[in-house]
Amino acid sequence: MTGTTGTTGAALGAPAERREGRQKVTGAARYAAEYTLPGRAHAWPVPAAVARGRVTAVDTAAALALPGVLAVLTPEDAPRLADPEDATLAVLQGPGVPHRGWCVALAVAETPEAARAAARAVRVTYDTAPHDAAFTEHHRDGYAPQEAGGQPGRVEHGDPRAAFAGADVRVDVTYRVPPLHNHPMEPHASTAHWDGDRLTVYTSSQGGTTVRSTLAQLFRLPEEHVTVVAEHVGGGFGSKGTPRPDVVLAAMAARHTGRPVTLAYARRHLPTVVGHRAPTVQRLRLGAGHDGRLTALLHETTSPTSRVKEFVEYAAVVSRVMYAAPNLLSAHRVVPLDVPTPSWMRAPGEAPGMYALESALDELADVLGLDPVELRARNEPAEEPGSGKPFSSRHVVDCLREGARRFGWEDRDPRPGVRREGSWLLGTGVAAATYPVQAAPSTAGAQALPDGTFVVRINAADIGTGARTVLAQVAADALGVPLDRVRTEVGRSDLPPAPLAGGSSGTASWGWAVHEACAELASRLAAHTGPLPAEGIETRADTTGKADADSPWARHAFGAHFAEVAVDTVTGEIRARRLLGVYAAGRILNARTARSQFTGAMIMGLGMALTEGSTLDPAFGDFPEADLASYHVPVHADVPDVEAHWIDEDDPHLNPMGSKGIGEIGIVGTAAAVGNAVHHATGIRFRELPLTPDRIL
């Protein structure tokens, strides 16, 4: 975990290179499935082949007769777990099948190939029940959830319906986002090993502290008997934010067989078992005066969840943040169906919510004959509309104006459908972006060694973001030492406990504790005379009560997205030509890794706009798109000129580094900017993603 950074001094903000970059590109970095413990065996799941029902028999004879097969775990004989808080982890605990793909048996063998062959040879008999996997916004089972993304499910101010009915100008539109899947480069995987009643797992996770507490609870162990290692993680985007069944199944199989066991999901397993972005149907009603000022904003969204647990895709929450509207309705509905359980996908809520809101706003600009940047500027709120709190900082109009300047927006002819280049129609679009500032309590240790170097220890997760690197920068800054004198240790549960890499809160949460531990260490060193003792000097900080304190401020990052597209009138193909984002996200702590986060998320937003989409087949109860040949993430040839810029913000109401989260905001407004550009190119509003040629023609 050492390595050169190419940068010393002036640590915060410097474009330091990822410390593990060389290990990754040379193959030296080890991922969860690559821990080749002596005697290691491999597990392969048997997914339920019906959409709803009960397992009545599992015939394992043919599977067990195959060479190299060690065991087949079934709901009858698998180890009994304590009831999990997350019901998706109650695997092999009973005969019930809540959806297709639910794990109904687990084959364990000497090799992955033998385990896969054994899984295919298991004969499962079901008692099939009628299922309902058809999502419609008017489904009779739909209900209004209490909570949506940790906030009230419904917020209503004024009299939105009457204000909308009486508005000078009205837009009433419904936007649809399909189910979406994360598909990280490294599919979910875990290697588990028992030593008596001590469990060690190597797992691909965004938060090892939660994995540890979950496993301790499920297997009825003291937490200190569980070790979780997640040193390198090949992406997660939310799907690895909580423990997934692979880590539970690997631990069960290892206990059952007495061998270390790896369960590495094949990519085709992921769509049903690791969560997805729930589809949304969002109705937006915007009422405004002729001057463009909103008088009513109604944002209502409906999404499905599974029968296993409630998950709400909280798409309407953004309407509590963005625009001044004296009459506001922001409300969610959820429909439980016999389908796989949805979960977090990069900017859950905000990404689909801002797609719909920012598209509807573009429609309003059109009706008013007003420039879409100007329309947004006219609706800047004095305080956060949902809560009435003042913003700690809010530079969304600055982002829009700076983006417009860089993009060349002022030359834009607003008329749709008039720019031709051969068979192509050209257009440009804009959308704003927002993402909340979050932080959770964390602990960190800092140590000064006699050789003048420092070690920072924290169970943070580096999921490819550069967390190790930026935490070293935070430490070097607080210590006032060059960056190359600081080493960081992350990704192991014997390090001080820390929250997950999620909600764009990792750096804020961990960095806060690292900053405090290092500031304390700096003052201890300043007071110290003579050489350091051999073990050095150590400090530890815990931000409980600070990072989780209620704030009188509404704290969010903001941004603006601009897109230029070409639409082929013969084939219906859409090519994005340029994407440009400008962000106001507090202080940027590492210019290089921050740019990667922004542009990576913009590319994910491009996929959301143009190519990505899963189809829940209601007859089948599952997604047919189970590989990268059918689920189309952008490839190099799809990715145009992508630029990310930022406005430096000096916001004293955040954390000691002055940073906001940057991991998710890049996806938030991208799809709307692309969609608005497609309208500008063609003159046609498409209100359902993705914008594939079959829809365009």
| Residue 555 beta carbon to ligand MOS: minimum distance, rounded to whole angstroms | 16
Please provide residue 290's backbone torsions phi and psi, each rounded to the nearest 5 degrees: -65, -20
Q: By CB under 6 A, is residue 353 in contact with ligand MOS?
A: no
Closest separation in Å from C-beta 506 to ligand MOS: 9
Listed ranges 66-74, 208-216, 234-242, 614-622: which one lies at the site for ligand MOS (CB under 6 A) = 234-242
Name the one range near ligand MOS by CB under 6 A: 342-350, 408-416, 600-608, 686-694. 342-350
Helices then strands, each counted (H, E), the chain: 16, 26
Contact range with ligand MOS by CB under 6 A, out of 58-66, 183-191, 236-244, 368-376:
236-244
Q: Rounded to 5 degrees, what angle do the CA atoms 674, 569, 679 make? A: 30
| Partners of 124 in the β-ladder | 58
Task: Walk across the sheet containing 169-177 and list its strands.
Answer: 154-157, 327-337, 294-306, 280-288, 169-177
Least distance in Å: CB of 347 to ligand MOS? 6
Q: 3-state class of 416 per DSSP?
A: coil
Q: How far is the CB of 348 from ligand MOS (least distance, A)?
A: 5
352 contacts ligand MOS (rule: CB under 6 A):
no
| Antiparallel, parallel or unpaired: β 147-148 and 151-152 | antiparallel
Q: Which is nearer to ligand MOS, 145 or 235 (CB)?
A: 235
Closer CB to ligand MOS, 463 or 574, in the complex: 463
Residue 386 or 661: the one with the smaller Cβ distance to ligand MOS is 661
For residue 328, give every residue at least 6 positions away whose Cβ sits within 8 Å of its Cβ, in sequence order, or none.
155, 156, 157, 158, 160, 296, 297, 298, 319, 320, 385, 386
Which listed range, 102-110, 341-349, 374-382, 530-538, lies at the site for ligand MOS (CB under 6 A)? Answer: 341-349
Q: Which residue is nearest to ligand MOS (CB)?
A: 238
Is residue 664 flagged as an active site residue?
Answer: yes
Closest approach of ligand MOS to the CB of residue 501, in Å: 7
The tokens for 302 are 């409906």
What's the rounded Cα separation, in Å, for the pair 685 and 254? 54
The token duo for 124 is: 């499962």
Annotate 304-319 with DSSP letters as a single string. EEESS------GGGGG
Asked if 346 interacts with ligand MOS (CB under 6 A), we say yes
Task: Return the residues of window 650-669 that contact ligand MOS according to CB under 6 A.
Answer: 664
Q: Where are the beta strands (DSSP E) in 60-99?
A: 69-73, 96-97
Three-class SS state of 200: strand
**Total length of the chain:** 697
The nearer residue to ligand MOS, 556 or 687, going by C-beta atoms, is 556
Question: What gap in Å lies between CA 592 and CA 662, rounded to an integer?
Answer: 12
- For residue 254, CA distances in Å to 69, 503, 652 come to 14, 32, 49
The residue range among 94-102, 338-346, 551-559, 574-582 that interacts with ligand MOS, by the rule CB under 6 A, is 338-346
Of the candidates 607, 609, 604, the one whose C-alpha atom is nearest the C-alpha of residue 679 is 609
Nearer to ligand MOS, 51 or 667 (CB): 667
- Show the beta-strand stretches assigned E in 178-293: 189-195, 198-203, 226-229, 261-264, 280-288
Nearer to ligand MOS, 306 or 343 (CB): 343
Q: How far is the CB of 210 from ligand MOS (least distance, A)?
A: 12
Instruction: Kindly indicate which of the ranges 168-176, 343-351, 510-518, 568-576 contains the residues binding ligand MOS, using the contact rule CB under 6 A.
Output: 343-351
Whether the bond between 690 and the residue before it is cis, its omega within 30 degrees of 0, is yes
From 186, 374, 664, 688, the catalytic residue:
664
Query: CA dist 663 to 370, 435, 563, Å?
Result: 32, 9, 20
What do you get for the CA distance between the two ends of the chain, in Å?
52
Between residues 342 and 427, which has the closer beta carbon with respect to ligand MOS? Answer: 342
Q: Which is nearer to ligand MOS, 202 or 344 (CB)?
A: 344
Nearest approach, Cβ of residue 262 and ligand MOS (Å): 24
499 makes contact with ligand MOS (CB under 6 A) = no
Per-residue contact string for residues 303-332; x = within reach of ligand MOS by CB under 6 A = ------------------------------
Rounded to a whole number of angstroms, the minimum distance from the CB of residue 88 to ligand MOS is 16
Tokens for 390, please give them.
């003042």
- The pair of three-digit structure tokens given for residue 641, joined into one six-digit string: 């000129």
Give the torsion sign (CA, 471, 477, 483, 488): negative
Among candidate residues 373, 366, 355, the one with its CA nearest the CA of residue 682 = 366
Candidates 101, 348, 441, 466: give the one binding ligand MOS (CB under 6 A).
Answer: 348
Q: Could you say which of 502, 581, 600, 621 contacts ligand MOS (CB under 6 A)? A: 502
Rule CB under 6 A: is residue 238 a binding residue for ligand MOS? Answer: yes
From the list 47, 241, 243, 304, which residue makes contact with ligand MOS (rule: CB under 6 A)? 241
Binding segment toward ligand MOS, per CB under 6 A, in 209-217, 233-241, 303-311, 396-404: 233-241
How many alpha carbons fall within 13 Å on the CB side of residue 356?
33
Q: If we measure between CA atoms, which residue out of 140, 55, 139 comes closest to residue 98?
A: 55
Among 164, 344, 562, 646, binds ligand MOS (CB under 6 A): 344
Q: Find the largest Cα–Cα distance for the chain.
A: 78
Residue list 404-463, contact with ligand MOS (CB under 6 A): none
Q: How far is the CB of 502 from ligand MOS (least distance, A)?
A: 4
Which residue blocks in 137-225 are alpha helix, DSSP H? 160-165, 208-218
Residue 510 lies near ligand MOS (rule: CB under 6 A): no
Report CA Rg, the chain: 26
Integer Cα distance of 112 and 185 in angstroms: 19
In the complex with ligand MOS, the residue whose CB is nearer, 5 or 301, is: 301
CB of 240 to ligand MOS, least distance (A): 8
640 in helix, strand or coil? coil
Region binding ligand MOS by CB under 6 A among candidate stretches 136-144, 225-233, 237-245, 507-515: 237-245
Collapse the DSSP code of 621 into the 3-class scheme (helix H, G, I; strand E, B; otherwise coil) and give the result.
coil
- Least separation in angstroms between residue 596's CB and ligand MOS is 16
The contact mask relative to ligand MOS for 534-563 (x = CB under 6 A, - = no) is ------------------------------
By CB under 6 A, residue 345 contacts ligand MOS? yes
Residues 551, 439: contact at Cβ < 8 Å? no
Residues 6+ apart with CB under 8 A from 184: 234, 235, 236, 237, 239, 240
> How many residues belong to the site for ligand MOS (CB under 6 A)?
11
Residues 35-64, mask of contacts with ligand MOS (x by CB under 6 A): ------------------------------
Least separation in angstroms between CB 133 and ligand MOS: 24
Using the minimum distance from each CB to ligand MOS, give the nearer residue, 344 or 409: 344
Task: Please state, in angstroms and rounded to a whole number, the distance separating the CA atoms of residues 76 and 518.
Answer: 52
Q: Quick one: 137 or 664, whose CB is closer to ligand MOS? A: 664
Partner residues linked to 643 by β-bridges: 580
Q: Does 503 bind ligand MOS (CB under 6 A)?
A: yes
- What is the set of active-site residues? 664
Q: What residues make contact with ligand MOS under the rule CB under 6 A? A: 206, 237-238, 241, 344-346, 348, 502-503, 664
